[in-house]
Structures are given as C-alpha cells and as structure tokens.
Amino acid sequence: MSFNEKTQIDSFQDNSSNDEEVMLKVTEEERKRVVRKVDVHLLPFVSVLYLLSFLDRANIGNARIAGMAKDAHLDGLKYNIIAAVFFIPYSLAEIPSNILLKLIRPSRWIPSIMVAWGLVMTLMCLCKNFKSLLIARVFLGLTESGLFPGITFYLSLWYRRRDVASRIAIFFSAATVAGAFGGILAFGIEHMEGIGGLHGWQWIFCLEGILTVVVAFISYFFMHDYPSTARFLAPREKQLVVQMLKEDTQGLATHFDKKFVWQALTDYKSYLHIFIYIGLLIPVYAIALFLPTIIKSLGYSAAQAQLLTIPPFAAGCVATIGVGLWSDKLNLRGPFLIGGCLLSMIGYIVCITRSEPGAGYAGAVIAAVGVYPTIAVSLAWAGASAGGDVRKGVTLAMVIGLGNLGGICSSFIYLKAPRFYAGHGTCIALLAMSIILSLFAMWDFNRLNKAKEAYCAHHGIDDSRKGEFVEFGSESPLFRYTL
C-alpha cells in the first residue's frame, strides 16, 4: 500500500452510523435464482438498446458502399472526416452524461438521449452533401455519447464485480449483431433507391433512425432504475441483491460527492485502463467502419460485401459471450484480454501478408473474433478497479470517453486498398500496446492486493470495520483488485 493510502487511512475518523443491518441468510441456489431473474429483465432490453446505438453509428460504412460516397461527392478524405468527427463530441460528453445518469434516473436519462439521437439519425436522410453529413455526425456523436458508458455503469449497479463481465459481454455482443444485422438491412434497404426522392443509402438512415425513436419511447415504460426500486423483484429479493452488492463493494459510498469525481480523475489506474481500451477500440472501430470497404476491395461486389460482413460479426458475437462467461467464472480479466489481443493480431498479420481474397477474408474474421471479446473484459476490469458508485461511473466514462477518441485514428488509417498496410499495421501495434499494459496492470494490482493484505493483518482490519472506509473508494484497505 502506498504512503498516501496509509496516511489517509490512519488519519480517518469514523463518522459513519453504527446501526446494525439485518443480514439475510442466503443460499447459493437462491442467489443464482435471483441473479437469473435480474438477467431476464435487464439483459435483453439493454442489448436491444445497444444494438440500435451501434447500428446507428456504424451504418455510415454500409451507406458508403451503397452509393453515398458517389452521390454526396465524398472524394479524398471527406468520408474519413465524416467518420472521425462523430467521436469528438461523443468522447467529451460521456463523463457529464454518467454523472447526470446518477443524479437523475436511468429510466429517464437513457430513453431521453435515445429519442435525441434517433431523431438525428432519422433526419440524416435529408443530408445530400459533405457539409450536411458532417454536421449531422457531430450531433449524432453528442446525443449518442451517454448510452454505452451509461449502460456499462448501469449494469455495475445491479451485479457483483465478478459477475459483470459476462453481462457486459452479452450486451456488447449486440454490437456484433448490429454489424451483421446492418449488412442485411443495408442489402435490402439500398434497393429502395429513388422511393420518395431519396437514394437507397438515405433510406438506411431514415428507417434505422425511426426504429430507434420507437424503441426509445417504449423504454420509458420498461426500464428499471435500481435493485431497491425494481418492480419485478419481491421485497426479500430486493434486499438480497442490495446486500450482495454491499458485500461485494465492502459497503463503499453510493451517494454523489465531487471528491469521488476527483478520486477517479487523479487515479493513475484510470489512465492505465484508458490506454488499454484505446489499443482495443481502434481495431474494433476499424472493423465496424471499414469492414465493408475492406471486403469490397478484395474483389467482391458491393452487394456481396454487404452480406459478407455478416460472418465476421456473427463469429465475434459468439466469442464475446463465451469469453465473458469464462472470464466471470474464473474471475480473471488480464489473461483473457491478452489472449484475445494475440488472436486478433494473427488475423491482422494474415490480412497484411496475404493478397488472396479468401485469405484476406479469413484474416478479417480472425481479427474480429479476437478483438471483440476484449472490450467487455476490459470494461469489466476498469469498473472493478474503481470503488464506489460515483467513482466507478466516472472511471468508466473516462475509459469509454477518452478511449473513443481512438475512433478518430480508426477513421484515417484505412486508405490504400487492397492490403491496407497502414491500417492493419496500426492495429497490430495497438494490440501489442494493450498486451504490454495489461501485463503491467496484472503485476501492479497483485502488488497492491498483497500490500493491503499485509496492512490489514498488521492493523487487525476486517469486514467488521468496513464502515470506517466508506468514502475511501479503491484506497480502502478492504478493497481488492481483480487481476
């Protein structure tokens, strides 16, 4: 434990209440049953929300090869700029959004931002040139910014740290489904060319935006806020979930205070997770934004390219869920993240070294299967490294927000077909960076855990004294990092 942590603990005066809580006696079977009940009511719904989110941000890639580049005169780097500008407001608005989610209510905040970005997406069908598409993408990034960090934070308020990776994996797998679904939709919708005076690619924006708005209005009535207020849980089940979460976080603070925001902003571990996430997200966005283009450059037609985007995303979906489940089962993050990076690197190496269409396509599938599961594991790891609700929410918003600035990089690295040396090479280098930083994180977290265990043993600190450290966050001597 660092000198600052020890000084903070030694100087702390306990101002917490000494009221005894009535603890439920819970069997493992009962706990599993209640968690499954939460799964049924939460996961399908948030997965649909994220599917629409990813569909709306990534459909620009499908629209490009459906005729947008030609009709809107997107020569040179104009498409790349349109793809990149989304990530600037998207990244900057995520921390304020997660704070507002905590201050307001998830069932009000998340549907509201969905209505906003759904309207922007729908109105993008009226865009006809570079300037209008650029402005629309700025507003799409701003309005959509709160969904992904919001749901990630939201799930952490319902599940223990050791259970959350598989749940993030399930809802993030919606991104891979969106990639596959987007290809199918684009293949069908682009045949609406000329209807209502709109091009086929404009109908892609219109119909997908309307779908988002409809689901957003429905979500006002079906989204639950917190375990303690969930209508689908019986009183004992509510108490069980709340008790389980308190035990998992050693009773750390759940209320808002500016100092918890500051704790997250000044913790070097937040920035360690940010750079791990950047190394993963740039390849993920490269796949989302350019997979149709990469496949088309291998010699396939535009229609074939739309359909051939489906298998990589479908395989990535299966891998994301499988890895998330195993990561939770073993309560490990780093090894799964490193393994996914290594597999993805193999895929990119195949893409960069082989010119045959079949080999290039196989490399794209391997790259997707490797990198997609790492996102859920990385976010679960970042959330587990932050103690307390507000600190966790800010940390996740920092990781996702600043990490998403990497999307700007993704937008400019795939320029020269068909081998895309700069793009594939950049992804390989960034995956290697994430591997190195993950190895350091595992070593550092293990070091901190051992120091805390020694400190607790020396000072006789156990769970009976957790009330003394409610506001300490990750620096609590009772808090343990996941490796």
Per-residue 3-state assignment (H helix, E strand, C coil) for 174-188: HHHHHHHHHHHHHHH
Sign of the dihedral through C-alpha 119, 125, 126, 127 = positive
Q: Are 69 and 193 in contact (CB under 8 A)?
A: no
User: What global pTM score does this model have?
Assistant: 0.78
Average pLDDT in the 231-254 region? 82
381, 161 in Cβ contact below 8 A?
no
What's residue 387's pLDDT? 76
> What does the block give as tokens for 384?
């587990």
What lies within 8 Å, CB to CB, of 457 at 6+ separation is none
pLDDT in tens, 148-189: 888 988 998 899 888 888 988 888 887 677 766 777 777 787
Q: Residue 447 in 3-state DSSP?
A: helix
Give the residue-averaged pLDDT of 369-390. 89
Question: Which of 35-44, 254-263, 365-374, 387-396 has the lowest average pLDDT?
Answer: 254-263
* DSSP designation for 23: P
Amino acid identity of residue 68, one-letter, is M
Among 410-414, 435-439, 452-456, 457-461, the minimum mean pLDDT is found in: 410-414
- 2 pLDDT tier (thresholds 50, 70, 90): very low
| Whole-number pLDDT of residue 22 | 64
Is the predicted pLDDT of residue 478 greater than 50, yes or no? yes
Q: Which domains does the chain have, with CATH numbers?
A: 31-249 (1.20.1250.20), 256-482 (1.20.1250.20)
Q: How many CA atoms lie within 13 A of 110 on its CB side?
A: 29
Cα angle: 199, vertex 143, 434; to 5 degrees: 100
CB contact at 8 A, 289 and 83:
yes
pLDDT of 285 reads 79
Please compute Rg for the chain using Cα positions: 23
Identify which of 297, 292, 361, 280 has the alpha carbon closest to the alpha carbon of residue 59.
292
pLDDT tens per residue, range 408-451? 888 788 877 777 888 889 999 999 999 999 999 999 999 999 99
CA-nearest of 94, 138, 106 to 120 is 138
CA dist 364 to 66, 350, 356, 359, Å? 21, 8, 12, 9
Q: 284, 243, 234, 238: which is closest to 427 by C-alpha?
A: 284
Find the mean pLDDT for residues 296-324. 83
Give the model's pLDDT for residue 302: 73
Whether the CB-CB separation of 202 and 19 falls below 8 Å is answered with no
**CA distance readout (Å), 321 to 101, 136, 384, 396:** 26, 33, 19, 20
Q: Is the peptide bond before 418 cis (omega within 30 degrees of 0)?
A: yes
Residue 3 pLDDT level (bands cut at 50, 70, 90): very low
CA 181 from chain centre, in angstroms, equals 19
pLDDT at 292 over 90: no
**In this predicted model, what pLDDT tens digit does every residue of 176-227 receive, in sequence order?**
777 667 777 777 877 788 888 899 889 989 998 999 999 999 999 888 999 9
pLDDT (tens digit per residue) in 4-51: 444 343 433 333 333 345 677 878 888 889 999 999 999 988 888 888
- With tokens 């600035």, the residue in question is 405
pLDDT at 284: 87
Collapsing DSSP states into helix, strand and coil, what is residue 18?
coil
Q: Is 341 helix (H, G, I), strand (E, B) or coil?
A: helix
pLDDT, average across residues 238-260 = 76
